[in-house]
Structure 1
Amino acid sequence: MNKKKLTLLIYVVISALVIGLSRYPRGLGIIAFMGFIPLFRFFDSAKHDKLFLLKASMLFSVIYNGVACYWIGYVSIPGLIGLFFLFGLYFWVIFLYLNTIWRERGIVKWLGFIAIWITFEFFLFHTELRFPWLNLGYALGEFNYLLQIADIGGIYLLSILILISNILLYKILAGDRKSIIVALALFTVWGGYGYLRFNSIKMEKQNLKVKMMQPSVGIDKFNVPIEELLTRYEKLLYYASLEDVDLHIWPEAAIPDRILHPQYGYMREILKNLARKNKLSIFFGCTDSSPAPEGHKYHDYYYNAATLLHYPELTFDEPYYKMLLVPVGERMPYLEYFPFLWNLEFGQANWEFGKEQKIFKTKDKQGKEYSFSTLICYEMLFPMLSNDIARSDVDFIVNLTNDVWFGESVGTYQHALVTRIRAIETRKPILRCANTGHSMVVSPNGKIEVFSKMMAIGNFDAPIYTTKSSSLFVKYFSNLPFLFVFSTLFIFLLAKFKSKKVN
């Protein structure tokens, strides 16, 4: 490889490194505003051949994912390698596209750059390979004022503004003084909107008294008898009862058995006794099953689920089944099309997909009723799910999760901050109950009311603040990405047409 190509690949490495580091705490999200500048230099240098672009895209993927998502290797080294390869192919498509349109003059290439990147992020929310963890907007999770505009355009608008900021800074460094004015205007409007929106949202504290249990059950305890787990839970339940709690929330898979199945009646009685003794309702994660049709690999369909045990009725609600499953980790993708994949074993559960959202209802001590819906773990990454919940006009959203697999890595922090963006997008309070942390409560204005430490054991208050303030993103603009999908295709065809005309 000659010296020039090596220099170009260094640009790729720097971009991937900076964008990857923007997903780290302590304010590093701010460097997302300059992460693409070296990549612009890469495409400015020359038109590249497809093979070189493939090498560059694979390098970009390895560095970007290796820095931002190294923690996936804690669970599965093959899974991390697969992520490198899959995203390398995604980035190759992006690089090929940019290589085609980059000679366009004026604003066209910049619109094409924004369009293809937002199309890519939109794609990451769909198909059974969905993994939107790396969407750019999540880098701003620590900057509440900058996040407020998500109630207009959601996570997509945050990514768009980061991309525009990169373009403006690149042009400023190239000596374009007009871009300084545009950049100042952009951040004045963006920050000003955030400041005014944050301070103008009127919130009302509800009387429902909720505590979230963070038991910090380690991986080594997952296979112990359920009675041993319940011993730990019972202590925390007792402490919650001393504070006259209405609802006690337990994390994802807190009950790892199929408690609603007929054969586990004895376990349901144990839980009922705990609810009766402590005089509170319990919302908890569990597993469940239903009979599978003849010819299926297993006798039953299995689900990652959650349900509500009511006090004083001591009845269980029909469970919610997790609708979006982590590719490979929770289910091998496309099993219905490629049955041989059932024979591959990477430790995945191969859960079935849930079909619909569910609304749960509970009451405070005065008899006032509250409604809520839940998202389990990774589902919090998907705005279409939280938007659907917000449209049903529930009082709050509960996120049950278990990030024990990732230890105290940056992955747990990244996952937690997504909660803040969903709360702002929907203007709904979100209660995040995590087995090992971070458990948190986020109000509709994005304020983090509660944020637990990793591996802490205890109950955490979950104050619920609601607002009548609505979200334009939920009401009108959730389909914003389609504009960029169509723009991507139009600009590509335009560039190809001009190329043929020149030739």
Structure 2
Amino acid sequence: MRRLVPDRPTLLALGSGLLLAFSFPRLDLASVAWFALAPLFVSMFGRPFRSGFVAGAGFFAVVLYWLNIVMTTYGQMHPLFSLAAYLILVCYLALFFAVTTWAACRLRERLGLSIVVTLPVFWVALEFLRSFLLSGFPWATLGYSQQSHLALVQSADLFGVYGISFLLILSNATLARCWQWYAGRTAGSRPFPLAALTVALLLFAANAGYGFYRLGQGVDVREETLTLGLIQGNIDQSVKWDPTNQEATVDTYRRLSEEAVRSGSAELLIWPESATPFYFQDGGPLAALVREVPQGGAEGLIFGSPAYEVVNRRYHYLNSAFLLSPQGTVLGRSDKIHLVPFGEYVPLKPFLPFIDKLVVGIGDFSPGTVSPLPMNGSEIGVLVCFEGIFPELARDYVAKGSDLLVNITNDAWFGRSSAPYQHLAMTRFRAIENRVWVARAANTGISALIAPSGRIVAQTPIFETRYLTGSVGLGASPTLYTRFGDLLPILLLPFCCFWLVKTRKPSSAALDPEDLLP
């Protein structure tokens, strides 16, 4: 019976994972992330892989609980199958925690390397791998936990979100070493880890100092501005694709757009992802109604709509954004690049014929390319749906001359969960990394205007039918991140490989007695 009771290291690992989850929205206890993993790093040495896995499972199980809402409510999946799919994903993501703690302990045992050195390196490298492995799922990258501490995330314009993750793990590992010294100080352990603590404090101070410096530079100010009208139609997902509801949907967006132009002087109107649940490119009465919208006084309209292309007699479906001129003519189309697996396409479909998409709609989508939309001499980069969580896509748009980033999305799938808040938190980093304004139009919210400092200038509540108007600046300021991208994790990956190869050779490095403490 006693074997069924988790041991102390397992409980500490689970506690670390759960505590870390509290640092993300909606609880948003950001400061907790600076010490949440210290219990895991203190107790992981007996069973490092299991400890990391337990912590990761606890973390992702809490942060991603909303996936069950998506799969059961909108995917019409049986609760048991939904739970199975959810647990499989949680276990997969927990492996990244597990490999990190296993590798750090192995390097300590075989090479005598301190966890203060190895944990930040492996953590960031594996977070980077998670962002593109198996199509990529960088949701809840550790650095995003600090989105509400603006001064601490300004360095994202240097190293991206991974730089913040590095500092967070360095802090946790240093605290763990200090605790190990305190607990083992009477057992002849090594001297106090002064060097590690000094480096951690200096880097934290430098990061905070840089943040306050950048915030004081007026990074949000631009000479050229544009007044936007973000239209939040709040269309119920259960009727969104119902043909009998299409006209009512268009009427809702038209009415809100007229109010935004009339009361807020909106120059550019932005509707969410798939705002027109029909093929706009085919024309017809509903498409004609959409074309009339910018003719009511706006300088343009960006809206989401499904589209298609015919190549060699085969249809390629696209999740697109169209830009209309004041005369209602199409100025450009931007297609979604990073598709949602099992939502917009089925990976390895020939080998998985029994699996269908979760989203009821048109068919399997095809990826597009980076194509900014031209408007009055400026370029607008459009990130569709969860493309806002992929740093490289926003960077590519800015590198191609985008003066404004627009994120159109439909977060109705998430219900009244923490997911819309997590989604917005990650999108804020795209503004900081590239020092560019970001406008976010969401079907059910959260719609928001985000300044280059990451500050949310204005936002809407969720599940309310309304519009949001506000002025944004045009133009992106040059940043180290825009120029070099995710250079930090790319440089750290070879270190991980080199260290692991070296551990294959027998080593006489002695294990630090501090690392044996439970």
TM-score by length of 2: 0.86
Instruction: Tell me if the contact between 1:112 and 1:491 (Cα under 8 Å) persists in the aligned partners.
Output: no
1:27-80 alpha-carbon deviations (Å, 9 max, x no partner): 512111112212212323x356xxxx45x5553343111111111110122442
Instruction: Tell me if the contact between 1:444 and 1:466 (Cα under 8 Å) persists in the aligned partners.
Output: no
What is aligned with 1:251?
Answer: 272
Greater displacement, 157-166 / 122-131: 122-131
- Give, in angstroms, the shift of residue 463 of structure 1: 1.4
After superposition, the Cα gap between the structure-2 partners of 1:9 and 1:463, relative to the gap in structure 1 and judged at 3 Å, is same
Task: Note if 1:228 corresponds to 2:223.
Answer: no
Greater displacement, 433-442 / 176-185: 176-185
Task: Note if 1:169 corresponds to 2:175.
Answer: yes
What is aligned with 1:141?
Answer: 147
After superposition, the Cα gap between the structure-2 partners of 1:306 and 1:7, relative to the gap in structure 1 and judged at 3 Å, is same
Instruction: Tell me if the contact between 2:110 and 2:508 (Cα under 8 Å) persists in the aligned partners.
Output: no
- Give, in angstroms, the shift of residue 323 of structure 1: 0.7
Task: Note if 1:354 corresponds to 2:349.
Answer: no
What is aligned with 1:271?
Answer: 290
Distance 2:96 2:453 in 1: 35
1:428-475 alpha-carbon deviations (Å, 9 max, x no partner): 110011111111111112221112111222211131124664211111
What is aligned with 1:74?
Answer: 69
Distance 1:185 1:433 in 2: 40
After superposition, the Cα gap between the structure-2 partners of 1:148 and 1:501, relative to the gap in structure 1 and judged at 3 Å, is closer
Within-5 A mapping of 1:26-45? 27-44=28-45
1:306 to 321, 340, 360: 321
What is aligned with 1:366?
Answer: none
What is aligned with 1:62?
Answer: 57
What is aligned with 1:457?
Answer: 465
Structure 1 unaligned segments of length 5 or more: list them: 364-368
Distance 1:381 1:27 in 2: 18
Greater displacement, 134-143 / 276-285: 276-285
Distance 1:4 1:38 in 2: 19
After superposition, the Cα gap between the structure-2 partners of 1:334 and 1:114, relative to the gap in structure 1 and judged at 3 Å, is farther
What is aligned with 2:515?
Answer: none
Task: Note if 1:315 corresponds to 2:329.
Answer: yes
After superposition, the Cα gap between the structure-2 partners of 1:279 and 1:166, relative to the gap in structure 1 and judged at 3 Å, is closer
After superposition, the Cα gap between the structure-2 partners of 1:279 and 1:189, relative to the gap in structure 1 and judged at 3 Å, is closer
What is aligned with 2:421?
Answer: 413
What is aligned with 2:398?
Answer: 390
Instruction: Tell me if the contact between 1:361 and 1:372 (Cα under 8 Å) persists in the aligned partners.
Output: yes
Within-5 A mapping of 1:99-498? 99-104=105-110, 107-173=113-179, 174-175=181-182, 176=192, 178=194, 179-202=196-219, 203-204=221-222, 206-224=224-242, 225-243=245-263, 244-260=265-281, 262=282, 264-291=283-310, 300-312=315-327, 314-335=328-349, 339-348=350-359, 351-363=364-376, 369-466=377-474, 469-498=477-506
Distance 1:289 1:128 in 2: 26
After superposition, the Cα gap between the structure-2 partners of 1:217 and 1:25, relative to the gap in structure 1 and judged at 3 Å, is same
Match of 1:357, SS state, is coil
After superposition, the Cα gap between the structure-2 partners of 1:79 and 1:463, relative to the gap in structure 1 and judged at 3 Å, is farther
- Give, in angstroms, the shift of residue 235 of structure 1: 1.1
Instruction: Tell me if the contact between 1:71 and 1:411 (Cα under 8 Å) persists in the aligned partners.
Output: yes
- Give, in angstroms, the shift of residue 3 of structure 1: 8.8
Distance 2:256 2:429 in 1: 30
| Percentage of matched positions with identical amino acids | 25
Match of 2:364, SS state, is coil
After superposition, the Cα gap between the structure-2 partners of 1:188 and 1:479, relative to the gap in structure 1 and judged at 3 Å, is closer
Greater displacement, 82-91 / 391-400: 82-91
After superposition, the Cα gap between the structure-2 partners of 1:423 and 1:230, relative to the gap in structure 1 and judged at 3 Å, is same
Greater displacement, 132-141 / 80-89: 80-89
* Letter in structure 2 aligned against 1:213: I
Greater displacement, 227-236 / 265-274: 265-274
Distance 2:369 2:162 in 1: 24
Distance 1:110 1:18 in 2: 21
Distance 2:42 2:266 in 1: 58
1:399-420 alpha-carbon deviations (Å, 9 max, x no partner): 0011111122111111101122
Greater displacement, 89-98 / 389-398: 89-98
After superposition, the Cα gap between the structure-2 partners of 1:356 and 1:37, relative to the gap in structure 1 and judged at 3 Å, is same
TM-score by length of 1: 0.88
After superposition, the Cα gap between the structure-2 partners of 1:400 and 1:149, relative to the gap in structure 1 and judged at 3 Å, is same
After superposition, the Cα gap between the structure-2 partners of 1:185 and 1:488, relative to the gap in structure 1 and judged at 3 Å, is same
Distance 2:294 2:25 in 1: 40
Instruction: Tell me if the contact between 2:395 and 2:485 (Cα under 8 Å) persists in the aligned partners.
Output: no
Instruction: Tell me if the contact between 2:444 and 2:464 (Cα under 8 Å) persists in the aligned partners.
Output: yes
Spell out structure 1 runs of 4+ moving beyond 6 A: none
Instruction: Tell me if the contact between 1:212 and 1:460 (Cα under 8 Å) persists in the aligned partners.
Output: yes
Match of 1:220, SS state, is coil
Structure 2 unaligned segments of length 5 or more: list them: 72-81, 183-191, 511-518
